[in-house]
Amino acid sequence: MFVLRMAVRETRSSWRRLLFFFICIAVGVGAIVALRSVIQSVRDVFRQEAKSLIAADVIISTNREWTPGARHAIDRRLREAGITTRTDSVETPTMVRPADESKRVSRMVELRAVEQAFPLYGTLELDGGQVYSHALLAHRGALVRPELLTALGIAVGDEIVIGRVPFTIRGVIRNEPGRRVGDFSLGPRVLVDYADLPDTGLLTFGSRVRRVVLVRMPEHVIDAVVKALRSDFKDQFINTRSFRGTDDEIGKDFERAENYLSLVGLVIVILGGIAVSSVTRVFVLQKMHSIAVLKCLGGTSWQIITIYMLQVMTLGLAGSVLGVGLARLAIAAIPYAVQSAPSSLLTEVHYGVTLSAAAQGIGIGVLVSLLFSVVPLLQVRDVKPSLLLRDDAKVPARDWTKITAAVLVSVGLIALTAWQASSLSIGVAVCTGFAALAMVLIGAGRVLVKAIAPLAQAPLFPLRHAVLHLSRPGNQTRVILLAVGLGAFFIVGVRSLQSSLLEEFSLQSAENSPDMFLLDVQPQQSGPMATFLRAPTRSAGNFRLIPVLRARVTGISGRETTIENLEDVRARGSLAREYTVTYRVGLEPNEQIVEGQFWDGPSSEAEVSIERGLHERFQINVGDTVRFDILGRVVNAKVSSVRQVDFRDSRAGGFMFVFRPGVLDDAPHTFIAPLKGPSDVQARARFQHDLVEQFPNVSVIDFREILITVRDVMSKVTLAISVVGGLVLFSGALILVGAVAMTKFQRVYEAAIFKTLGATTTTIGTMLLFEYGVLGMLSGTVGSLGAVALTWGVSRYALDIPWRPFLGEHLMSVGVTAFMVAAIGVASSLDVLRNKPLATLRSE
């Protein structure tokens, strides 16, 4: 009871001093609660909508033409299960243009041809309250996304040409079942009747068509049918999945996102925790006198420790509750933010703080406060009541209780992180990473403080004392370095990476390099295409027609790797994907042989050159034999060389597999053509339009448009990460203000003595400015150095792009951080400058 009463009294008197640190906890808890709540709410809606997300109970799909055998197997399995509700659908990217010849534009779209029964689940929503029925598509009708109307400058009622035939736009799609939010798309959706597709001529051999059978079936047969079909198509390129799979997949995606994002929140909370630890240490130092008095009056160490621990937990709880409030506010703003989102699913979500997220957030806030305050609170045991008579308190050299507590706290933190990430290994990794980063920051800080130590001899009085202050007992140098340094590290790191990537892309889109890709040029079109491109009016630059085939690896027989069948290939992840391959005699300028020898002419023996990544990832070596399925034909090719490809210039030939000419020349293949399109925007649109008009099946990928999309995506990602970095920096600023407030008592006294000895307010102000300026500069430097290391590592190992230092950006960040810290530091110390010396000295 006494302990509780004292905790209330202590909190009453010192909550203001500790406020900033608990706002840090609040910011972190707010981040965790908001992220978890939003993701949980969105996940629930997605889960409820899982069936309509794939628009069926089961989907069977293939990138090849249905073979009679496959159709037969599907029919038989569905018949056996007594299933009758099914519908066919075909998806393919293609170019469309307005039928109106005066509009000389074209656009790549994702075409989907559907039958009467589509959709089996969910509703196809149309703009303007129009109700979907298949009749809208019958007889060459089309439904399109609004983006296409804008891009082509057309309206409902107008005609567009798809392949060889015109379609009338009969409505605008608002929401379509079977299309997931955030799915990568090459262009806006266009929906047509399945029966009209053959007329378009798009189903030519080799074109990128996905054929889908959507099936509706009773719940209890789903698993059995999926299992049976999977075993039927074990060795074929046919994929079967149920809505449950989608549900699981969505569940996993969201869980992963939730856990990773929560870790970011946890980092902020831990930062707050570090602040709690630091403030508790200073707090105990300031309270030594009161602790000695309490001991003198009969209080035991544990009673006193419990008092302060309760106080910390109360404030931790208050901070966490405030965090939940902040999360509520942030979440309340979401419906306004997603109003304009293209997917209506996001607007259907009921956004609010979920109970589990709030409980977790509060639990974490209180736990972190407790964990980080335990070790510094143990100092209470070292305070002797004799302090009231004589100031000779000694601290034992090695305190096993403290060491044990520190170990237990570390274990607790790892457990907390592991809980948040739902993985022990990630928990350990994050904690180790954080500890390593903290140690590097502190170590670098220590080195830098030492490096500027000679300035303590500087003739300038304020500078001399500012430097001395950085290493005085009870200083906040470490905690400020850590908090502000970490914030700077996040922001500068992300910004540098973004600049690096953007520069990389702009390099790629440099003057004379190709900026357009033609896909699906049929062999018989190669001649007319060359003529088309060579026409002077087209102003198309150099072009090449590169033969391409689509191939899949079905087996490997090699020194290190032996894979027998397709199932085992699938187990190797990306090795199972469909590769675009080519054949040619020589190397491209962006290629270099790192192992083996490149052929010098055609051969009737199948030989293949692989990219270095394949060699490293899947241990495929020179001399191994790789079995390919190239459009149904089995090709066993011997690996004769390993190439290093510079993917920055991949449009000249970024192929993972290159075959020796001779074997594939007669296989059915298409051509791709990288070329430099006209530079003028209108000429470019006209060029694409004319090309599509003459070659309706050919798709054009405009690299300039992709670059714009990439820039857009990147700026969004950068913004998101910068917001997180901003939160970290905000916490850093709070810790800074708090740290200044905590050590203010010391400064007020020192300032009073300085003033008594003749220092003016300006001198003391300059001293503060120097002290915080230097501290800010150190934090900025440490953060920038960390960012340099981060960008180097990510560029070198993750993105495989050359590292660029961006010296200017780093120097600017050091300057900005120094300015910010100095401004906040001086602003929070204004009363140190204002206080009258006599009043201060008298009260001491």
Partner 1 sequence: MIELRNVSKTVTSGTELLTILHPLTTTIPRGQFVAVVGPSGSGKSTLLGLLAGLDSPTTGAVVIDGVDITTLSEDELARLRGQKIGFVFQFFHLIPSLTAYENVAVPMELRGRADAGTRAHALLEDVGLTGRAHHYPSQLSGGEQQRVALARALANVPPILLADEPTGNLDSENGRLIMELLTSIHRTRNTTLVLVTHDKELAALADVCIRMRDGRVV
- Interface contacts to partner 1, rule CB under 8 A: 1-2, 5-6, 9-10, 12-14, 289-290, 292-303, 381, 384-386, 388-390, 392, 843
Quick one: tokens of 183?
């799915």
CA distances, 714 to each of 129, 176, 497, 611, 795 (Å): 35, 26, 10, 27, 15
Nearest-approach distance from CB 314 to partner 1, in angstroms = 15
Cβ contact 763:462 at 8 Å: yes
Q: Which is nearer to partner 1, 9 or 577 (CB)?
A: 9
Q: Which is nearer to partner 1, 6 or 626 (CB)?
A: 6
Among 314, 479, 540, 455, smallest CA distance to 774 is for 455
In sequence order, the 6+-apart residues with CB closer than 8 A to the CB of 573 are none
For residues 469 and 710, give the distance between their C-alpha atoms in angstroms, rounded to a whole number.
48
Q: Which is nearer to partner 1, 296 or 833 (CB)?
A: 296
In 317-375, where do the E strands start and end? none
Nearest-approach distance from CB 399 to partner 1, in angstroms = 14
In sequence order, the 6+-apart residues with CB closer than 8 A to the CB of 747 are 768, 829, 832
Alpha helices (H) along 102-205: 146-152, 197-200
CA distances, 292 to each of 3, 182, 306 (Å): 16, 62, 15
Q: Which is nearer to partner 1, 384 or 550 (CB)?
A: 384
Return the axis-axis angle of helices 243-286 and 301-332, rounded to nearest 10°: 140
Q: Which is nearer to partner 1, 333 or 397 (CB)?
A: 397
Nearest-approach distance from CB 276 to partner 1, in angstroms = 19
For residues 193 and 708, give the distance between their C-alpha atoms in angstroms, rounded to a whole number.
32
Nearest-approach distance from CB 295 to partner 1, in angstroms = 5
Q: Which is nearer to partner 1, 386 or 679 (CB)?
A: 386
Nearest-approach distance from CB 375 to partner 1, in angstroms = 19
Q: Which is nearer to partner 1, 122 or 385 (CB)?
A: 385
C-alpha Rg value of the chain to the nearest Å:
34
Nearest-approach distance from CB 373 to partner 1, in angstroms = 18
Neighbouring C-beta atoms of residue 589, cutoff 10 Å: 10
Nearest-approach distance from CB 19 to partner 1, in angstroms = 16
Nearest-approach distance from CB 11 to partner 1, in angstroms = 10
Nearest-approach distance from CB 312 to partner 1, in angstroms = 15
Nearest-approach distance from CB 292 to partner 1, in angstroms = 8
Among 430, 492, 447, 445, smallest CA distance to 726 is for 492
Mode of pairing for the β-strands spanning 633-645 and 238-242: unpaired
Give the helix/strand (H/E) hosting 758. none
Q: Which is nearer to partner 1, 1 or 757 (CB)?
A: 1
Q: Dihedral of CA 435/438/444/450: which sign? A: negative
SS3 content of the chain, % helix, strand, coil (to 5): 60, 15, 25
Give the helix/strand (H/E) hosting 1. none
SS3 category, 663: coil
Backbone angles phi, psi at 616, to 5 degrees: -75, -40
Nearest-approach distance from CB 754 to partner 1, in angstroms = 24
